[in-house]
Each structure stands twice: as structure tokens, then as C-alpha cells.
Homo-oligomer: A and B are copies of this chain.
Amino acid sequence: MKELKIALLGLGTVGSGVYTSIMDRKGALEELLGHRLKLSSILIKDSSKARPFVKGVPLTSEFEKAIGEEVPDVVIEAIGGIEPARSYIIQSLEAGCHVISANKDLIARHGEELTERAAAKGVRFVYEASVGGGIPILRTLRELLRINRIQHVEAILNGTSNFILSYMRTTGSSFEKALELAQKKGYAEPDPTNDIEGLDAFYKAMVLSKWIYGVQPSWEEVQVEGIGNVLLEEIQLAEQMGLRLKHLVLLNDRLDLQVQPVFVDSDHPLYGVEGVDNAIRIQTDLLGCLTLQGPGAGAEATASAIVEDLLSIYETREIYRNKPAVSELCPKKQEQEVNTYLLVGEKINFTKERISAIEKHGIIIDRTSLRFQPISLAALLYEGPLPLEQEDEFISVISIYPVRLSKSGKGIEKEKVPVAE
């Protein structure tokens, strides 16, 4: 039986999760892999930290030692950031190692280069854990939806933002208080900028775009808005209308990408995704809508994606040689400057409460611009009477447009939004 040697770079949240998962499941992994497994070295930064849970695996703070003394078959990168992670991955690939990474920042920026380097050396570079933590988003898209064309995806990809919005809604707390709790609970980093400003979700969206469509939208042109400007009043008004404000990634096969807070209707599968969970709703031409929901971060969940990736390297090699199911791409700039969306499911239910909230808060609805579509990213400002269309006894899809509130000198104001189309 051949022995597979694995080097682990980083022993923080993710690295420790990987260490423990591999150690705990060594027998089962060896059976599935058909090889013996050996963690050959672990790279850390600070040699003075005590790591009493590590048993029998050499720790080093020198990359050359981690990879040089006993060239590993697989390198797992769980350091984060661009450098030195990028250089270490390149050196590992050049040395003929497969590489697994959880590093969305790096993959969003340099994924193409790293994938090409891997291909040139005949090794694999995989990174399921970089998008959606434990949820097998990337492999579902590429392995299980091969003939399905991905028309658009809507996703909650930043657990910290989702936690903050959930917490504000359920407890009536301010943004600041919710953020503080997220940090206390370890969901948000000490410097939470990437989460709060939408950058973390943006990087993941860029990884997704490349993965699904083979290209990324222009980095400069994507609108990225975080949750820093979300008002409690806005969340509460939405709730009165049966809507929730969620921080979403919206990406379609025309390479339109938005990363921003969106009102979500109660019939939409992302409506119920609360706390630190992540989720993605995938619209395809054949299957229809598939939604995956699960833990988007955390030591064990992330380790799950990494260890499943490890198995995939040795077990489903062939599948990766196929081209991804690429949609007909017609990248185009967005025509209108609308920056708030309302996501509705297939049916929208106009309860008495909702109607009166709509009326009370002056949402204006236009009977003439009704759009009946299975799922809409519609941002429509309606004028006129409330459109109640009866079909059987449900009411058909109507995209209503909740007014986005904004802070101004005079307190909270309703924002004027241009009418779309």
C-alpha cells in the first residue's frame, strides 16, 4: 500500500479542524483512498505557541522544511491572505504536489494562474472550502449539474453579515451591538472590514463566476455594498411586509454581478436562512431551482470540504478533465442603475397584513408593469392600485418594490429609485 504524505500549512481555525478530522478518521480515509495516510509536517508562524493537541507530527515555521525534507503528495493551504500563501502554493505545485486551499481572497485573484500551473504539472488544485465553507457548492455545480446550464445564482456567502442581519431583526439591536456579539462569538474577525463591506462575499462571487462561467466580470465594475449602512428601521419595515433583508450575491450568465443587501420574500428559499448559515439558490435550464444550505464557516464544516476534496483528488480525477458546463456568455454592462432588489418566489401571498403594511408605508404599485416570471430579480417601482391577480386561489407572482430607507441630515428618508425598463 502506497503512503500518501500530506503537509498542512496553517494551524488556526481551519488548520486545526483539518488536523483533527484527518487524525480522527485516519482508518476510514485510508480505506476510501486505498493508501496509507501520513501527516508529514505542519507549518505555523509562531513557534512559541503551545499546540498540545498535535501528536507525532513535526511543526515548523519554515516552509522549506515543511515541503522540502519529505516532498508531500498533497499540500493543504490554510494560512489565508495573498502572500506568502500564493508563493507557497506555487512552490508546492512546482514540486508536483496536489494543492487544496480554502483561501477565497487568493483564488478570486490568482485562481486562474494557480489552476494553469497545476494543469501544467499534471496535479490538481481544488478549493471547495473557499466558497460556502462546508456546503459542497463547487462540486455540485461541476459534477452533479454537468448538462444543466446555470442561468443565475443567488447566494448568502458571508455568515457574519447574515448573523448580524438576523440578530438585528430578531432582537431589535443596533448594527454596532450585533457586530460586537458576532466578534465575541468568533464569527467576525477582530478587523471585520472584509465581512461588513461585502468584500468577503465579493471574493467568493468572483471564485463562483470563474468556476461556473470560466470568466469573471470586471473587478472595477461590480457594485459591492456591505451591510454597514443597513438601518434597523429598514429591517423592521421589511419585516412588517413579510420580507427580510439579506446580504446577497446575485450572479447570472450575462455576468451581471451584484453584492449587496436585498429584500427577500417569505416564499424564497433564502428567506429562512438565518444566523451564520450560508446558502445558494441555483437556477438551471433543466432541473429548475436547486438550493443548498449549510454552515458557511467553522473548523469542522470547513475541514469537511477540505477532506472531501482530498478524497476527490484520488477518486474522481476524470471528472475534472471535463470542461465546466459553460453557458452562452454575453457579458454586458448593466443598463440601469438600480441598487435595491426584491426577491420573490413563484407565488407571492398578499395577506391582509402585507397589504396594509404596503399601503401604510406608501409602496406604490403599477398594474401595467407587472411581470410574471418564475423568479425575478426585479427592481420595479410600481404606481397605481395594488395588483391582485387571481390564479386558482393563489395570487400570481408580482414583484413589489419596498422603498429603501437611507440616513440623511433630516433623519431617515425614503430613497427615490429610478423605474426599471
Task: Give bound CA distance, A182 to B398, whole Å.
Answer: 23
Task: Give bound CA distance, A28 to B326, whole Å.
Answer: 10
Q: Tell whether A3 is near chain B: CB-to-CB under 8 Å.
A: no
Task: Give bound CA distance, A275 to B292, whole Å.
Answer: 18
Task: Contact check, A144 vs B136: say whether CB atoms are below 8 A apart.
Answer: yes
Task: Contact check, B32 vs A316: say whether CB atoms are below 8 A apart.
Answer: no
Task: Contact check, A287 vs B301: say whether CB atoms are below 8 A apart.
Answer: yes
Which B-chain residue is minimally distant from A281 (CB atoms)?
A: B293
Knowing A147-B308, A293-B291, A300-B286 are in contact, say whether A181-B32 is a contact too (CB < 8 A). Answer: no
Task: Contact check, B301 vs A294: say whether CB atoms are below 8 A apart.
Answer: no
Chain copies in the assembled complex: 2
Task: Contact check, B300 vs A294: say whether CB atoms are below 8 A apart.
Answer: no
Task: Give bound CA distance, A25 to B79, whole Å.
Answer: 43
Which B-chain residue is minimally distant from A285 (CB atoms)?
A: B300
Knowing A286-B304, A322-B315 are in contact, say whether A139-B144 is a contact too (CB < 8 A). Answer: yes
Which B-chain residue is minimally distant from A310 (CB atoms)?
A: B147
Task: Give bound CA distance, A286 to B25, whole Å.
Answer: 10
Which B-chain residue is minimally distant from A294 (CB atoms)?
A: B290
Which residues from chain B contact A316 at a C-beta distance below 8 Å? 143, 316, 318-319
Task: Give bound CA distance, A304 to B140, whole Å.
Answer: 13
Of residues 363 to 408 in A, which have CB atoms within 8 Å of B's CB atoms?
A: 392-394
Q: Tell whether A295 is near chain B: CB-to-CB under 8 Å.
A: yes
Task: Contact check, A294 vs B291: say whether CB atoms are below 8 A apart.
Answer: yes
Q: Tell whether A75 is near chain B: CB-to-CB under 8 Å.
A: no
Task: Give bound CA distance, A181 to B394, whole Å.
Answer: 11
Q: Tell whether A289 is near chain B: CB-to-CB under 8 Å.
A: yes
Which B-chain residue is minimally distant from A173 (CB atoms)?
A: B393
Report 8 cross-chain contacts, Cβ distance below 8 Å, ordered by A residue.
Answer: A139-B143, A140-B144, A144-B144, A266-B272, A269-B272, A286-B304, A291-B291, A291-B292
Cβ-closest 8 pairs across A and B: A287-B304, A272-B272, A290-B294, A134-B287, A136-B144, A291-B293, A286-B304, A288-B295
| A interface residue numbers (CB < 8 A to B) | 21, 25, 28-29, 31-32, 134-136, 139-140, 143-148, 167, 170-171, 173, 181, 185, 266-267, 269, 271-275, 284, 286-295, 298, 300-301, 303-305, 307-308, 311, 315-316, 318-319, 322-323, 325, 345-347, 349, 392-394
